[in-house]
Amino acid sequence: MTRTVFVYKTVFVTNAVRLMEHRLKEILMAVTAAAAATEVQPYRWRWVALFVILAAEVMDLLDALVTTIAAPTIRQELGGSESLVQWLSAGYTLAMAVGLITGGRLGDLYGRKRMFLIGASGFTLASLLCGLAVSPEMLIASRVLQGLFGAVLIPQGLGLIKEMFPPQELGKAFGLFGPVMAIGSVGGPVLAGWLVDADLFGTGWRMIFLINLPLGLAAVLAAARFLPEFRLSNATRLDLPGVALVSAAAFLLIFPLIQGREEGWPAWTFVSMAAAVVVFALFGRYESRRARSGRDPLVTPSLFRKRAFTGGLLAGLSFFAGLTGFGLVFSLYTQMGLGFTPLEAGLAALPQALGGVVGFGVAMAGLQERLGRGLMQIGTVVMAAGAAVLALTIHLTSLDVTTWQLAPGLALVGIGMGMTMAPFFDIVLAGVEPHESGSASGTLTGVQQLGGAFGTAVLGTLFFNLLASEWGFGSSMQVTVWVEVGLLALTFALSYLLPRHARPQQH
């Protein structure tokens, strides 16, 4: 059984449905693995425990979405440079990317219930620190803590579900994730915008974090009462040096990409990015040596000798970088360029979120099995067409564009996003051996998060640089959209490295 098929969280407002789809795909993979397992005695409070897990999922999902909508207001009230807007998202996703690689192993080693309680408590405390932040630095550090504790929290939920429910009930249990994630992904941006505009009790943007306090406290108390304790007797050990190396490499890459523009691109930024390549190489060499010595590696080295898997990593990096960066820049464009309020910006993003639901539904109606990799390719073409329509709309209307005029292009982007995401993880994992799927799925999840941080850094920096060069909001947004189209073209080309179809599910 795949132990590390975990859910990511995710990331920005207009990427809301992407987060839902990622979770749903890994949930489906978990169902397949669990169905082949031996039947266990059902846990008495399993349905109550399921709702506790769902509450934690929603809390984490919302926090992955809210800062993109609130970022302009946060910067206006708290101060800080333009890079604050990027770090609010990149800090969270970068911490999540690193933490998710080992989050599931912590539950295997020390108990899923214990780690769920630690993750939920830490996430709630970090939310309080975000709400009380008195400086940009404190807020960014608190967001990093949120990402780290979220990476501890989320993997335990799916692991507990697979332990609590017998195979014949797993479909129903995981089936509840669909509507809950859909409601959260569609309603999250609107809720974030409303909370900022409503200024409840004079808290303003702080309420998007403080709302987690009652939710988190309730989740902790309910988890302590209703979650069972499980741990694996044969759990793999932690690879702390590997975690340190990959964390350092990711930071050396992302930090100069975000800070370099404001510093005037001094020599240290290029040295740092070059050093990131060296540290990634050292990480690969260390993992190979660790595997040869019989110890448990963070990432199975043999995966990188498989064309399908490495192609999937590159395709995922390109896809998620473009999607996440586009989401950030679109929110900035609507609020800073068009003068939308946070609530109006959240409503403007709805066509893409709803389109994602439609695209995912179309894929699950049978096209995923019939078309396989072809569905991904059709999805990227539909996304690119939607982005082109959006760029043309902005070009023709300048800053007089309305929400209704933006809707067709965004809806097409969302539909294509759903069609691309639906088969992605299953198809990439079809290129690895069954015993490698745990490490492979964890690595894919981490790369998705790293891609989000990379997209935030690159496209956010590009957008701000164009504004500083007096391109104007409309022109800057158009350039960003065409870069997104280029990344989609790269994803399309890389998809030919993937297997044609996912591995058939066994019943």
Across the range 165-180, mean pLDDT stands at 73
pLDDT grade, residue 503 (50/70/90)? low
* Whether the Cβ atoms of residue 206 and residue 192 lie closer than 8 Å to each other: no
pLDDT of residue 286: 92
Give the pLDDT confidence of 427-475 residue by residue, as tens digits. Answer: 888 878 776 766 777 788 788 888 888 999 999 999 999 998 888 898 9
pLDDT of residue 232: 67
How far is Cα 322 from Cα 485, in angstroms, rounded to an integer?
8
pTM of the model: 0.81
Burial class from Cβ neighbours inside 10 Å (0-12, 13-18, 19+) for residue 109 reads middle
> Among 136-150, 302-316, 419-433, 472-486, which is the least confidently predicted range?
419-433
pLDDT at 393 over 50: yes
Give the pLDDT confidence of 231-250 residue by residue, as tens digits. Answer: 666 666 788 898 899 999 99
pLDDT at 4 over 90: no
pLDDT of residue 493: 95
* Whether the Cβ atoms of residue 151 and residue 100 lie closer than 8 Å to each other: yes
Across the range 292-301, mean pLDDT stands at 84
Q: What is the DSSP letter of 399?
A: G
pLDDT of residue 2: 34
CA distances from 210 to 122, 124, 336 (A): 14, 9, 25
Give the pLDDT confidence of 176-208 residue by residue, as tens digits. Answer: 766 676 667 777 788 889 999 988 888 989 999
Across the range 112-135, mean pLDDT stands at 93
pLDDT grade, residue 297 (50/70/90)? confident
pLDDT of residue 487: 95
Burial class from Cβ neighbours inside 10 Å (0-12, 13-18, 19+) for residue 400 reads exposed
How far is Cα 95 from Cα 116, in angstroms, rounded to an integer?
17
pLDDT of residue 252: 93
Per mean pLDDT, which of 24-33, 247-256, 302-311, 424-433 is the most reliable?
247-256
